[in-house]
Chains A and B, each alone.
Chain A
Amino acid sequence: MHAYLLSLIIFTPLLAALVALFIPARAGRYFRLVTLAASLIQLAILIIIFLQYQRGSGAIQLIEKQNWISLDLGSWGILKAEYFLGVDGLSLPLVALAVLVMLIATVSSWSIEKNVKGYFILFLILNCAIIGSFVALDFLLFYLFFEFMLLPMFFLIGIWGGPRREYASIKFFLYTLLGSILILIVMIGLYLSVNDPASSGQFVHSFNLVTMSDPTNFISFSVLDPNNPWSIGPLHARMWAFLLLFIGFGIKLPMVPLHTWLPDAHVEAPTPISVILAALLLKIGGYGLMRIAYPIFPEAAINFSWLVGLVGVVSIIYGALNAIASKDLKRLIAYSSVSHMGFVLLGLASLTTEGVAGSVYQMVSHGIISAMLFLLAGVLYDRTHDRLITNYSGLATKMKSYFAFVLIGFFASLGLPGFSGFIAEIMVFLGAFKSALLHESLAITATLGLVLGAGYYLWAIQRMFFGPFYFKGDATKILYDLTSREYLMLISLALITLGFGIYPQPLLDFINPFARHFAETVIATGQRLILTP
């Protein structure tokens, strides 16, 4: 039974999509129920996975490995791709996050009215692809899921989005496509360079990420072989490959200056999709860096950690500054996402246990908090179809429990202690400052982000919630307080972020072994590769 848990959790939504396909489009209500059922089943499977998972070890667990593609190309060797799944301390929290956020997003999709069938089928496919890319350990499989995610997202924004949805969705598509192409280039390079150690005689070109992470598996004098003496331009091919991956995943993350798709996509996407976009899609970028770029090119990672750290800090501050300037609530939250994902980069660049653990923690925590923030923005948008901050004033008196949740959300996001964001940020800061790879000034500059974060959130609160009540938009819209459905979603997210903020140990139990193993391996392997040119 437990051997197929991961497959089950990936393909449950796909199965549900299949079921949904056969329900006539008139029966709108049932699509939600099917989607909800799929999410609940996933939750149940997730609990079983947690029970099966051994916390102490940093190794990959619950492995599923099947031959998928095995193509004999004669003198080119054998193309081998596997159906290789597994979870470790990095992916399991993210899978859990994904299942949770998907559940929330399903509940939040309750109010979708337009073309329900198409929406939920795309939604389920998206669900499948996201979870799949978190557990896939074969590059080709990962890439497949990664690309698979793009299309439903494109349509979900492009069809169910706001007024400028076409622009936003095309922008999103172009950006991510660019990233995908860069990743594809590296993937092909790796495919040409890696040999399965189990092969005898003939080269077996494998997409296995674990195989790729071991520099001894590279074929001598192949493009990405660490020992080959050639360089492309000023840098070794491996450095280029790392940079390509960094940009490719960085677009997803998003990092400045490749982030401008995010505000538009967020602003235009319907609420549940914004939630998924912020809470899960951005994490794939960070996940990709940790799963692919860093372990495979450790020496490049060490070499470029200054760049990664710098981009992280720039993202933190630049995102925060932009958030100050934005007049649209969703845009503000989107830029705050940019700012917060900068911490992921900074922590990752430090390559210390604290930093990496902080990065992973930040991904999970930002997933929860940003989901909450977008739900909050969605609440207001549902009422009035107006997101301009300046159009509101004094909402605190009108919508009391909404205000309470906004306070929780905003303060959680600006890193108030007691919420999960604080733990993550402090760990990132400690790691980044301590790291021998990064200059201290990076971490010190990054603290500015905290001040600015307080600035834009408090300013937004002040403008929207305090003062005398008025609403400048459409006067026919009624601003009523939270409905019980919204209440349920928000309170569960608030409790989770509070719980992880006050007592982070349960989550850290999973992350710790991974972070430690990751930091040590990358540093050790990288330094070995640097020393033996």
Chain B
Amino acid sequence: MLMVFLLPLVSCVISFLLTDRYAWVITLTAPLLQLISMIGALIVFFSLSAEPYTLALPWFHIGEFIFSANLQINAVSAIMLVVVTVVSFLVHVYSTGYMAGDENNRRYFAMLGFFTFSMLGIVLADNLLLIFVFWELVGFSSYMLIGHWNQKPAAVNAARKAFIFNRIGDAGFLIGLMIIWANAGTFELRNLLLQTEVFSWQTSATLCIFCGVIGKSAQFPLFTWLPDAMEGPTPVSALIHAATMVAAGVFLLSRIFALYTPEALDVVALIGIITAVLSALSALVQTDIKKILAYSTISQLGLMVTAIGAGAADAAMLHLFTHAFFKACLFLSAGAVIHVLHQAQQQTHTHFDVQDIRNLGGLRKKLPATFFAFALSGSALAGIPFFSGFVSKDAIFTGLWNWATMGTSWRWIVVVSAFLVSFITVLYTFRLVWFMFMGEEKSTQALDVTEAPLVMRLPIIILAVASLWFIITINPVDFNGWLFQILHPGKYFHFNLMAAVSASWVLLALGTAHRMYRTGKNFNVKIFQRAFYLDFIYQLLFEKPVLALASFTDRIDRHWIDGVLHSGVYAQVTLAHIIGWFDKWIIDGSVNAVAATSNGLGSFTRSFQGGKIQLYIFWSIFGLIIFLIWMLL
């Protein structure tokens, strides 16, 4: 297990230490190490026993408080382990093709390895503080990878935005940690999760940790960084911003699910559904391929979070699992399209935005394999029956239904919204497929487009296959398959009606979509396109005030504090000048007057003094006499 954990780090270190001359070595070592790591993860997964396996590692202690670096593998983390290593391996392989010829290859692979390592750290850690450590580290590697093409201002901005948004969430996480530390006195998840009694502030603690999730998993209101993060290389988007890192929030929620109080869960569910709806609407009108995918990711994550809020953590994990594969596949195939179009563009020196779906169309003839993979994974995203997405969404809907039947009426709004999201998902997925692959070729007509190289095609195909239903269950309409059994041993409530309703709902949506796009209709709602002006609001509410405040404090420093200091010094200097003047004219003046007097006196006495020994004697005797008279008196 430790091997699985550390190999990506080894890959990172190798990449970091090698010189540029041997950069090609990395393209071999990095995927190879990931492969070994993946095999290890699969072995761990299949040898999983009911009891969580813990690897005790000491870390440090302060006073009597011990912070351990324990690693633990249980059902949830084992699944996550597989997801991370598999997707990471495939992305590594894919990247060797996608990033071929990039001059900063070394840094890229180093960060990719580092990311995988830290992501595995989140998965395995059995200590909240340790999770936080890796939580921040994935943020760092995400920053580095988004900003990989650091000549591009947009990429750099996006990287910074991503990191800062994550930081805001992490600050919340940190507050949660503080509350837990102050009230529960331990970070060991084993102890925390086992304790039955509620400690004080528990709701706020869990909500604060949820803040971290909001940041990392791009939930409302901090989700706008994720679409921007698409400025990074596409494999990175696939790995980090679709399959693993953003799912870490969901993972964390289900990992510490036992800590959440009902009130906290309600908040979680609400945030989740708001995110899901808003981002689904935004996805509907975007024109950039990757942004559509990004918003769809946010929306799916929102659904997962909602599921957790509804108490169906296992369903959320199931969806996470399936989503990781099909979304990675979507991204990778979109990346493949972008990659080949770019290369074709460079050959013919034409220029247009290859990521804009309005420029694309009819690519299914030129890129059949990619189209195939994209269609498969797109169907999974849309939740069409016989695909993995359908099954896991089914699980979520079931969970939501159960939850809604148990509680108050507002929960039905959540359920309805979830169905709405599912409907919109079909719409935008179909829109994407339609615009890219169907219809007539638009700007790409003149280009000589060939399929992407094998190293890129292979991962896409594998992932596309993995988005079929059988990877999680035998029965395509019953989510209660072998994977779900691991997550939730025992019989689970399930009713077939839900599957039927869901299936017909999706098909209805499909029909709508078909009608809509065949006629060439396109949504163009400004508020959706700008993601509800959230960025604008942030700028207005936070960025500008902070900058204003900063320049204000700067002014305080320079003008007020230094001003006081300066005026103090000036006052002193002025005083010194006054004293100087006083010295010069009054004191020196009087001294001068005395001097002048004595000068007169002197020149008078000079006549009988200078150099005349006898007068010296006289004066000394005169002095003596005066002294004696004074004595006498």
Contacts and interface: CB of A to CB of B under 8 A. Distances in A.
Are A and B in direct contact (Cβ within 8 Å)?
yes
Interface of A: 171, 174, 257, 260, 263, 318, 321-322, 324-326, 353-354, 357, 394, 396-397, 407, 411, 416-418, 422-423, 426-427, 429-430, 432-434, 440, 443-444, 447-448, 450-452, 454-455, 458-459, 462, 465-468, 503-505, 508, 512, 515-516
B283 interface: no
Nearest to A423: B60
Given A174-B565, A260-B557, 12 more contacts: A321-B552, A324-B546, A324-B550, A325-B550, A422-B133, A426-B132, A426-B174, A443-B175, A443-B178, A451-B167, A505-B60, A512-B63
B171 A426 contact: no
A357 B62 contact: yes
A467 B164 contact: no
Interface string B123-165: 0000001001110110010011001001101001101100110
Contact of B151 (A354, A450, A468, A515): A468
Contacts of A468: 151
Nearest to A515: B63
B516 interface: no
6 tightest A-B contacts by CB? Answer: A353-B63, A433-B178, A325-B554, A417-B133, A324-B550, A325-B550
Contact of A515 (B60, B62, B164, B546): B62
Nearest to A425: B174
B177 interface: yes
B365 interface: no
B171 A450 contact: yes
Contact of B554 (A322, A423, A429, A452): A322
Given A260-B561, A426-B129, A318 B175 contact: no
A444 B65 CA distance: 22
Contact of A411 (B140, B557, B561): B140
A451 B171 contact: yes
A423 B136 CA distance: 13
B557 A508 contact: no
B152 to A, nearest CB: 8
Contacts of A407: 144
Nearest to A427: B62
Given A257-B561, A450-B174, A416 B168 contact: no
Contacts of B550: 321-322, 324-325
Contact of A452 (B140, B177, B546): B546
A455 B162 CA distance: 11
A429 B187 CA distance: 14
Contact of B62 (A443, A459, A508): A508
A433 B133 contact: no
Contact of B137 (A318, A394, A418, A440): A418
Given A429-B174, A455-B546, A466 B150 contact: yes
19 contacts: A322-B550, A324-B550, A325-B547, A394-B150, A407-B144, A418-B137, A426-B174, A429-B174, A432-B178, A433-B178, A443-B178, A454-B167, A458-B143, A458-B160, A466-B150, A467-B153, A512-B63, A515-B62, A515-B63
Contact of A466 (B151, B546, B549): B151
Contacts of B554: 321-322, 325-326
B553 interface: yes
Contacts of B153: 466-467
Given A326-B554, A416-B137, A451-B171, A433 B60 contact: no
Contacts of A467: 150-151, 153, 156
Interface in B232-279: none
A416 B181 contact: no
Contacts of A440: 178, 182
B175 A447 contact: yes
B61 A508 contact: yes
Given A416-B136, A515-B63, A322 B177 contact: no
A25 B535 CA distance: 63
A504 B60 contact: yes
Contacts of A171: 565
B228 interface: no
B150 A429 contact: no
Nearest to B173: A447
Interface of B: 58-65, 129, 132-134, 136-137, 140, 143-144, 147, 150-151, 153, 156-157, 159-160, 163-164, 167-168, 170-172, 174-175, 177-179, 181-182, 546-547, 549-554, 557, 561-562, 565, 569
A459 B160 contact: yes
Contacts of B137: 416-418
Interface of B is mostly: helix
Contact of A434 (B150, B151, B178): B178
B133 A397 contact: no
A36 to B, nearest CB: 29
Contacts of B557: 260, 263, 322
A403 to B, nearest CB: 9
Contacts of B182: 430, 433-434, 440
Nearest to B149: A466
A516 B156 contact: no
Interface core residue of B61, B64, B144 (most chain A CB under 10 Å)? B61
A394 B557 CA distance: 30
A503 B60 contact: yes
Interface core residue of A397, A462, A515 (most chain B CB under 10 Å)? A462
Given A396-B150, A512-B62, A430 B134 contact: no
A454 B61 CA distance: 28
B449 to A, nearest CB: 30
Given A430-B181, A451-B167, A454-B164, A397 B151 contact: yes
A422 B170 CA distance: 13
Given A326-B554, A397-B151, A448-B171, A505 B61 contact: yes
Contacts of A357: 62-63
A352 B448 CA distance: 69
A464 B582 CA distance: 54
A450 B167 contact: yes
A136 B414 CA distance: 67
A239 B59 CA distance: 40
Contacts of A324: 546-547, 550
Given A451-B171, A454-B163, A455-B164, A354 B63 contact: yes
Given A260-B562, A353-B63, A515-B62, A447 B171 contact: yes
Contacts of B143: 458
A174 B569 contact: yes
Contacts of A417: 132-134, 136-137
A86 B595 CA distance: 60
Contacts of B129: 426
B542 to A, nearest CB: 10
B106 to A, nearest CB: 10
A429 B554 CA distance: 26
A448 B171 CA distance: 7
B133 A322 contact: no
B579 to A, nearest CB: 19
Nearest to B547: A324
A321 to B, nearest CB: 4
Nearest to A327: B554
Nearest to B170: A450
A516 B178 CA distance: 19
A318 B553 contact: yes
Contacts of B144: 407
Contact of B174 (A263, A325, A447, A452): A447
Nearest to A354: B62
B228 to A, nearest CB: 14
Contacts of A426: 129, 132, 174, 177
A353 B561 contact: no
Contacts of A432: 178
Nearest to A352: B63
Contacts of A422: 133, 136
